């Protein structure tokens, strides 16, 4: 991923917040007949300790957990030791029309955030898969009042599905993050984009506006 120095997040925590808040990822690897890609949720394992600077490794390795269908062609790649994988996460993004710039003299563009995680895969055994599925369910359901719980159905309704899926953990050995938020543009233009996004009803646009202000703060002082 092409990342200018000014587009790097201010801390590793900024990058990992994207993973935590936007777990819907794209998992990519090379297959025998070409690239393979699967859309799926990936969570940071509880053991991950995301300290350190970007780029580089955290003090304790970042680990992602997920699962996919055994019938998926991609599943066969999981069992091959040492195969490199890439997990792509997208955070808030928006098209930026040049009409938002005070002088209307800059080309239209996109402001966006993205995190790329490179690593290798290890398969989970059934108890690990069981735990990961429970963590995923609790993580996703926690945002809904009265969210669903696996305890609401017979245990057999959960375990009978294990035969059809493969659980895995991805040990991340390289992390790249890109926060393209107008840091290489005139400050007044970046702040004008933030002002425009703050008027939108979309929560993601307002979050993006906050990120624009945060990552241009050093230029405003």
Kindly list the domain boundaries of the chain, sorted by start residue. 5-184
Cα–Cα distance between 217 and 94 in angstroms, integer?
20
pTM of the model: 0.91
Query: Of 30, 121, 32, nearest to 81 (Cα)?
Result: 121
Q: What is the mean pLDDT of the chain?
A: 92
**pLDDT tier at 55 (50, 70, 90 boundaries)?**
low
What is the pLDDT, as a whole number, of residue 59? 55
Mean pLDDT across 110-137: 97
Sign of CA dihedral 131, 135, 141, 145: positive
pLDDT in tens, 153-179: 999 999 999 999 999 999 999 999 999
**pLDDT tier at 10 (50, 70, 90 boundaries)?**
confident
**pLDDT tier at 79 (50, 70, 90 boundaries)?**
confident
CB 173 within 8 A of CB 86: no
Residues of the chain with pLDDT > 90, as a percent, come to 86
What is the pLDDT, as a whole number, of residue 131? 96
Burial class (CB in 10 A: 0-12, 13-18, 19+), 220: exposed
CA distances from 158 to 91, 137, 167, 169 (A): 31, 12, 14, 20
Region of poorest pLDDT, from 23-27, 45-49, 188-192, 212-216: 45-49
User: Is the pLDDT reported for residue 221 higher than 60?
Assistant: no
In sequence order, the 6+-apart residues with CB closer than 8 A to the CB of 143 are none
CB 86 within 8 A of CB 37: no
pLDDT in tens, 133-145: 999 999 999 999 9
Cα–Cα distance between 92 and 142 in angstroms, integer?
21
CA distances from 55 to 7, 11, 52, 60, 115 (A): 12, 10, 9, 14, 11
* Helix or strand holding residue 28 (H, E): strand 24-31
In the sheet that holds 85-96, the strands lie side by side as: 34-41, 24-31, 85-96, 109-123, 165-180, 63-69, 43-44
What is the pLDDT, as a whole number, of residue 218? 87
Burial class (CB in 10 A: 0-12, 13-18, 19+), 215: buried
Mean pLDDT across 16-25: 96
User: Is the pLDDT reported for residue 182 higher than 90?
Assistant: yes
CATH class belonging to 5-184: mainly beta
């Amino acid at each position: 991923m092409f990342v200018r120095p000014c587009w790097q997040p201010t801390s590793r925590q900024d990058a990992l917040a994207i993973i935590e808040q936007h777990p819907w990822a794209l998992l990519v690897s090379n297959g025998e007949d070409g690239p393979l890609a699967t859309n799926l949720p990936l969570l940071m394992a509880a053991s991950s300790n995301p300290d350190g600077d970007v780029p580089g490794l955290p003090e304790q390795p970042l680990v992602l957990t997920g699962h996919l269908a055994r019938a998926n062609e991609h599943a066969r790649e999981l069992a091959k030791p040492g195969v490199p994988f890439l997990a792509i996460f997208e955070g808030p993004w928006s098209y930026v029309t040049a009409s938002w710039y005070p002088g209307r003299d800059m080309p239209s563009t996109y402001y966006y955030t993205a995190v790329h995680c490179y690593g290798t895969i290890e398969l989970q055994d059934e108890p690990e898969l069981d735990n990961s599925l429970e963590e995923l369910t609790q993580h996703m359901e926690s945002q809904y009042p009265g969210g669903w719980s696996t305890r609401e159905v017979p245990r057999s309704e959960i375990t009978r599905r294990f035969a059809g899926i493969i659980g895995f953990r991805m040990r991340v050995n390289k992390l790249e993050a890109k926060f393209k938020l107008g840091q290489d543009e005139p400050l007044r233009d970046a702040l004008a984009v933030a002002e425009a996004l703050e008027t939108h009803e979309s929560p993601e646009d307002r979050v993006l506006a906050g990120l624009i202000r945060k990552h241009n703060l050093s230029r405003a002082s």
